[in-house]
Amino acid sequence: MNNEIKPPLWILLELTHKCPLECAYCYNQLDFANTKDVMSKEDWFRVMEQARDMGAVQLGISGGEPLLNKDVVEIVRKANDLKFYTNLITSGVGAPKGVVAKLKEAGLKTVQLGIQSHDKNTMTLITNNKSAYDEKIAFAKEIKEAGLQLIVNTCITRQNIHQVGEIIEFAESLGANYLEIANIQYYGWALKNVNALLPSQEQITKAREVTKYYREQRKDMKVFFVVPDYFATRPKACMNGWGTTFLTINPDGVALPCNTANTLPLTFPNVKEFSIKEIWNESKAFNYFRGDSWMQEPCRTCDEKEKDFGGCRCQAFALTGDMNATDPVCIKSPNHGVINKKIEDSMIFSEDKIIHRNRLNSLTFM
C-alpha cells in the first residue's frame, strides 16, 4: 500500500457536543458530556487557516448542534474568506431567529438538515424532543427562502424504515435538493441501542425497493440509500482510509481522523498544542493505521486491502476489543460471527426500550 501522506481535503469542526435532541442513534461517545467547549473563535480561525494552507477545500460545521455556538456566523464568514466550500450539519432545533439569513450572507453554501420522519410522533420517539418536528419544518423553510442548497439526511432505524416512501415525499415537499436515506452505523449510542434500532434484512430489502421506485419518479431531488454495515459482506473504506482525507476537530480541540476515533485506546493530539501540519504528518495516532504494517490476517494478504483498508477501526474495537482486528463486517474476518450474533440478538430482543443519550448520561455522569 502507498504510505505517502497526502494533505487533508475535508475538515469537520465539531463546535459543541451540546444538543437539544437526545437521538437514540447519536454517534457521539457515551461520555460525550465530558467533552467541554474550550475552543475560542480564534482557535477555530487558526485551525481553518492551517488546514487551508495544507490544501483542504471542504469544511463541515457540526456538533452536537453547531448553531448553539455563538460564533457560528463569524466562523462561516472566516471559512468563506479562506475559500472553503462550507456545509452546515444541523438539527435545525433551537436555532437563533434569523440565523439562516446571516449564515447565507456570511457565505454558507449548503445545509444538511436531519429529518427523522414525516410523522411527528415517530420523530418525537427517536429524538425525545416534542418541538423538533415543527422547528425542523420552519427551519427548512428558512433555508429555501435564503436560497441555500438543502440536503435532508434521514437516519433509518426499525422505528421509521417502514416510512421510507412517505419520508421521500416529505423531503420533496420541503424543497430538498438531495435526500440521504442513511441506515445508521452502529457506534456510540446506536451500538448501545442496537437491539431496539436494527431493522431486519427483509425490512432493508423492502426499503431499498421503495427507494428505487421513488428515485425513478424524481428528477429534481436526488435520493441516496446507504446500507448498514451489519448486512454487508465487505467492510466500507472507512473515511477513505485512516488519515488520508478527513480531519475532525472536537469541541475540546482534540484532532481525530474520524468522528469516533476517540473511542480507541490511542492518545490524540490537541490543536491547542500542535499545528495541523504537525498533527497530520507527525503524530503517532494519525500514522498508526496508515499503510498496512498494522494489519492482521486475513487483511495483510487480502487482494482487497487497497479498497477497504481493513475496514473500520472503531467498529473492530467496539465489537472485538482489538483495534487492529479485521472489521467483523467482512465475511473473511474470523470475528464475523460477532455480527451475526448482533443481528440474531436484535431480532430476539427487538422490544428493548430506547435509551436516549442524555437520559443515560444523567444517570452515569452526574
Confidence of residue 365 (pLDDT cuts 50, 70, 90): very low
Summarize the annotated binding site for [4Fe-4S] cluster as residue ranges: 19, 23, 26
pLDDT of residue 125: 94
Does domain 10-226 match CATH 1.10.287.610? no
pLDDT surpassing 50 at residue 279 = yes
pLDDT of residue 363: 34
- Per DSSP, the three-state class of 278 is helix
- Per DSSP, the three-state class of 204 is helix
Q: Distance (Å, rounded) from C-alpha 86 to C-alpha 365?
A: 34
Burial tier of 177 (Cβ tally within 10 Å: 0-12, 13-18, 19+):
middle
Which of 229-238, 306-315, 347-356 has the largest mean confidence? 306-315
Q: Say what the pTM is.
A: 0.93
Summarize the annotated binding site as residue ranges: 19, 23, 26
What are the boundaries of each domain within the chain? 10-226
Confidence of residue 349 (pLDDT cuts 50, 70, 90): confident
Query: 90 and 142 in contact (C-beta within 8 Å)?
Result: no
pLDDT surpassing 60 at residue 4 = yes
pLDDT of residue 60: 98
pLDDT surpassing 50 at residue 21 = yes
Confidence of residue 70 (pLDDT cuts 50, 70, 90): very high
pLDDT of residue 362: 38
- Chain-centroid distance of CA 325 in Å reads 23
H runs (alpha helix) in 157-200: 164-173, 188-192, 194-197
Average pLDDT on 15-26 reads: 92
Mean pLDDT, rounded, of the chain: 92
pLDDT surpassing 70 at residue 220 = yes
What are the pLDDT digits (tens) for 195-213? 999 999 999 999 999 999 9
Q: Distance (Å, rounded) from C-alpha 63 to C-alpha 174?
A: 23
Q: Distance (Å, rounded) from C-alpha 96 to C-alpha 99?
A: 6
Confidence of residue 77 (pLDDT cuts 50, 70, 90): very high
Between helices 99-106 and 132-145, what is the axis angle to 10°? 40
- Chain-centroid distance of CA 184 in Å reads 9
pLDDT of residue 334: 96
Q: Distance (Å, rounded) from C-alpha 330 to C-alpha 312?
A: 10
pLDDT surpassing 80 at residue 35 = no
**More confidently predicted of 123 and 354:** 123
pLDDT surpassing 60 at residue 361 = no
Reference 19, options 76, 69, 72, 87; nearest CA is 69
What are the pLDDT digits (tens) for 258-269? 999 999 999 999
pLDDT of residue 364: 35
